[in-house]
């Protein structure tokens, strides 16, 4: 069986790219297509696939400017031509990858991390007041109706949808009028279970992830300042952190091998954004640490009342209330229970679930 894997862009290695890597491991002969690829941004297993790119790859400064090209990405993905002879196309989509044209005779399964979140439910997180310049905000508002229409219309080219959470399956039903099976993303549990569950010996709260607007690191900083608790922030991205209070330490990007220790020594992970799924709460639980999470999105499927504490609204006051009640809640927390919960989300359940959906689409077992 000849398989093509399609991902939006490959300029870093985060949650979506880790899912792509798991797909590539499942289909070792598959070709990889993407709009742009920054050489060296991926692990060797993916770099060895020599991802095939669109015409955008040759634009000067594209790795710095690609986020500003959102209005032309639908045209770019529709202009990509896959080779003939594919039996199966699997798109790994959080923006436009699901809009790829499958060659004649190929079936298209789309694994959706999120519908085009920038244009739907999280528009204000990216383009609201204070999130972008007035010119960018004006352009985004002008492009929004077209991009929404295209996002819905391109769903008609998908034969079968798979969502990364029940939350996203609901979005697919709401926006596209289609049903989607749920296959949870794989968590690299072996990295976080090599050591016994941690005991929060560092005494700090941890915020870890990409610094992008919708993840709301600002909430964590503001609430920690008011609660006067130590907060460590690890990650890099679009959001610049300046003039943080003295109880907040900013580490920037950290090496992969340093992440497990950061989790194990933290009192808890602060998970402040509405995520489609969210890997970091499961990584923290695999290390035996609890999560303080916004009670929205994927966190409701990965964190239980025994392994984390929820705050109800994306506000400083709501998060501050959770931090204030954490001492009492923490007395009943069991690190081993958190690890058991995380172990439900490993690589094998993902592989089995995706193969089940491929088999259902093709009507036969994959080669």
Q: Which residues pair with 274 in a beta bridge?
A: none
Domain 189-345 architecture: 3-Layer(aba) Sandwich (3.40)
Query: CA-CA distance, 49 to 29, in Å (whole number)?
Result: 9
Q: What does the mean pLDDT of the chain come to?
A: 94
Please report the pLDDT score of residue 93 as a whole number: 97
Among 114, 111, 115, smallest CA distance to 162 is for 111
Does the pLDDT value for residue 288 go beyond 70? yes
Query: CA-CA distance, 268 to 139, in Å (whole number)?
Result: 39
Query: CA-CA distance, 323 to 305, in Å (whole number)?
Result: 15
What mean pLDDT comes out for the span 137-165? 95
239-287 pLDDT tens trace: 889 899 999 999 999 998 999 999 999 999 999 999 989 899 999 999 9
Q: Where are the beta strands (DSSP E) in 3-146?
A: 3-7, 31-34, 88-93, 107-112
Identical fold for domains 3-186+346-362 and 189-345, yes or no, is yes
> Residue 92's pLDDT band (boundaries 50, 70, 90)?
very high
Does the pLDDT value for residue 365 go beyond 80? no
DSSP for 265-321, please give it.
HEEEEEE-S--SS-SHHHHHHHTT--EEEESSTTHHHH--TTTEEEESSSSHHHHHH
Among 303, 300, 292, 299, smallest CA distance to 268 is for 292
C-beta separation of 293 from 281 below 8 A = yes
Please report the pLDDT score of residue 248 as a whole number: 97
Q: Percentage of the chain with pLDDT > 70? A: 99
Among 179, 42, 11, 160, smallest CA distance to 98 is for 160
Give the tokens for residue 108.
């298209």
How many Cβ atoms from other residues are within 10 Å of residue 237's Cβ?
15
Does the pLDDT value for residue 367 go beyond 50? no
C-beta separation of 208 from 269 below 8 A = yes
Sign of the CA dihedral running 86, 87, 93, 99? positive
What mean pLDDT comes out for the span 45-57? 96
Domain 3-186+346-362 architecture: 3-Layer(aba) Sandwich (3.40)
100-142 pLDDT tens trace: 999 999 999 999 999 998 898 878 877 888 777 888 888 989 9
CA 67-185-84 angle, 5° bins: 70
Q: Indicate the domain borders of the chain.
A: 3-186+346-362, 189-345
**Backbone dihedral angles phi then psi of residue 65, each to the nearest 5 degrees:** -110, 0
Long-range CB contacts for residues 302-311, cutoff 8 Å, separation at least 24: 302/277, 302/278, 302/341, 302/345, 303/271, 303/341, 304/341, 306/332, 306/333, 306/334, 306/337, 306/341, 307/333, 307/337, 307/338, 307/341, 308/268, 308/281, 309/268
Please report the pLDDT score of residue 364 as a whole number: 59
User: Going by C-beta distance under 8 Å and a sequence separation of 6 or more, which residues neighbour residue 271?
Assistant: 278, 280, 281, 291, 292, 293, 294, 299, 303
Q: Which residue, chain included where needed, has tokens 């991390």?
A: 113
2-17 pLDDT tens trace: 999 999 999 999 889 9
Q: Rounded to two decimals, what is the model's pTM?
A: 0.85
Query: CA-CA distance, 84 to 20, in Å (whole number)?
Result: 22
């Amino acid at each position: 069986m000849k398989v093509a894997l399609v991902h939006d862009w490959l300029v870093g290695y985060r949650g979506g790219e880790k899912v792509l890597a798991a797909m590539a491991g499942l289909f070792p002969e598959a070709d990889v297509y993407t709009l742009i690829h920054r050489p060296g941004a991926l692990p060797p297993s993916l770099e060895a696939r020599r991802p095939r790119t669109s015409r955008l790859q040759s634009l000067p400064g594209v790795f710095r400017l690609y986020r500003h090209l959102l209005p032309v990405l639908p045209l770019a993905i529709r202009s990509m031509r896959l080779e003939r002879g594919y039996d199966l196309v699997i798109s790994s989509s959080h923006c436009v990858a699901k809009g790829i044209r499958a060659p004649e005779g190929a079936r298209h399964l789309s694994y959706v991390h999120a519908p085009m979140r920038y244009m739907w439910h999280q528009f204000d997180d990216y383009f609201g007041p204070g999130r972008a310049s007035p010119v960018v905000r004006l352009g985004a508002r002008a492009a929004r109706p077209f991009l929404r229409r295209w996002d819905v219309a391109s769903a008609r080219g998908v034969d079968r949808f798979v969502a990364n959470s029940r939350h996203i399956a609901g979005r697919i039903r709401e926006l596209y009028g289609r049903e989607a099976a749920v296959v949870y993303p794989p968590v690299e549990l072996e990295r976080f279970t090599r050591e016994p569950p941690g005991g929060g010996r560092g005494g700090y709260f941890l915020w870890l992830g990409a610094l992008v607007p919708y993840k709301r690191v600002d909430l964590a900083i503001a609430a920690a300042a008011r609660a006067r608790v130590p907060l460590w922030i690890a990650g890099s991205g679009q959001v610049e952190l300046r003039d943080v209070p003295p109880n907040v330490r900013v580490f920037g990007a950290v090496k992969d091998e340093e992440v497990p220790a950061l989790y194990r020594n933290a009192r808890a992970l602060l998970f402040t954004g509405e995520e489609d799924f969210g890997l970091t709460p499961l990584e923290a639980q695999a290390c035996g640490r609890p999560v303080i999470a916004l009670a929205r999105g994927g966190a409701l499927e990965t964190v239980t009342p025994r392994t984390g504490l929820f705050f109800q609204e994306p506000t400083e006051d709501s998060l501050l209330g959770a931090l204030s009640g954490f001492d009492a809640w923490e007395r009943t927390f069991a690190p081993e229970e958190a690890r058991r919960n995380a172990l439900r989300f490993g690589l094998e359940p993902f592989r089995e679930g995706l193969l089940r959906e491929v088999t259902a689409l093709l009507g036969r077992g994959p080669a």
